[in-house]
């Protein structure tokens, strides 16, 4: 059961301006929660190539990430002080103010991003209480891998190594893995 509103026009293409506006709105919520809660911030969004960013799959991916993180946080003794679900045509997101060590939060975020193949579709950013974003590199972790091949994603993106059809097919396979995962965990 999703806790996001299902928009009547969901699964509609979005513009670059809408994507940028959504990022600005998410950054404002991150800053507000960090300031008010004096805590680290975890921001969850979906890394979905293409122009459709808000649909049943992206909603379910955010809920999956929230559920996994909440379980990992509880096991680590970390307390979520406040959570906001953000709903925009450019994609759903969630922002959490978390009372915990940002380095530990980054480790747990990367665990969620990497423990299942479809975790590659998640983008979980962690900011410390001062607003500094923790990178995978700063945490001593490997960078993201390409959707299509095993190379570092940044090299494939910069070199435009894969055409749109290849990337779309790879994402479709990851989404299918996610749907199968949901079927097996719901039975």
The full DSSP string for 119-184 is GGGEEEEEE-TTSPEEPTTTTT-PPPBPSSSSSBHHHHHHHT-S-HHHHHHHHHHHHHHHHHHHHH
State the Cα–Cα distance between residues 142 and 110, nearest whole angstrom. 10
pLDDT of residue 31: 95
Residues 178, 23, 112, 156, CA torsion sign:
positive
What would the CATH number be for the domain defined by 16-141? 3.30.70.260
When pLDDT is averaged across residues 113-127 and rounded to a whole number, the result is 95
pLDDT of residue 142: 79
Query: pTM for the full model?
Result: 0.88
Q: What is the pLDDT of residues 16-64, one digit of tens each?
A: 888 899 999 999 999 999 999 999 999 999 998 888 888 999 999 999 9
**Percent share of the chain, pLDDT over 70:** 91
Closest CA to 120 of 177, 60, 182, 185: 177
Return phi, psi of residue 64, to 5°. Answer: -60, -50
pLDDT of residue 78: 95
Is the confidence at residue 185, as pLDDT, over 90?
no
Is the confidence at residue 172, as pLDDT, over 50?
yes
Is the confidence at residue 187, as pLDDT, over 50?
no
Q: How, if at all, do strands 93-99 and 40-46 pair?
A: antiparallel
pLDDT band at 138 (very low <50, low <70, confident <90, very high): confident
Return phi, psi of residue 177, to 5°. Answer: -60, -40
Count of C-beta atoms within a 10 Å radius of residue 56: 12
Give the single-character DSSP code of 186: -
Closest CA to 112 of 46, 48, 172: 46
pLDDT band at 108 (very low <50, low <70, confident <90, very high): very high
Q: State the chain's mean pLDDT as an integer.
A: 89
Lowest mean pLDDT across 16-20, 35-39, 71-75, 169-173: 16-20
């Amino acid at each position: 059961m999703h806790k996001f509103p299902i928009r009547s026009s969901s699964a509609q293409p979005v513009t670059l301006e809408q994507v940028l506006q959504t990022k600005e709105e998410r950054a404002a919520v991150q800053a507000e929660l960090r300031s008010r809660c004096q805590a680290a911030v975890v921001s969850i969004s979906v890394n979905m190539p293409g122009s459709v960013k808000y649909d049943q799959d992206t909603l379910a991916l955010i809920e999956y990430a929230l559920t996994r993180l909440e379980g990992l946080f509880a096991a680590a003794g970390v307390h979520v002080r406040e959570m906001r679900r953000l709903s925009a045509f450019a994609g759903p997101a969630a922002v959490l103010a978390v009372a915990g060590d940002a380095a530990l939060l980054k480790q747990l975020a990367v665990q969620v991003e990497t423990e299942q193949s479809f975790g590659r579709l998640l983008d979980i950013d962690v900011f410390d209480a001062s607003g500094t974003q923790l990178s995978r590199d700063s945490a001593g972790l490997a960078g993201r891998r390409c959707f299509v091949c095993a190379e570092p994603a940044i090299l494939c993106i910069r070199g435009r190594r894969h055409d749109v059809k290849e990337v779309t097919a790879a994402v479709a396979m990851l989404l299918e893995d996610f749907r199968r995962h949901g079927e097996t965990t719901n039975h």
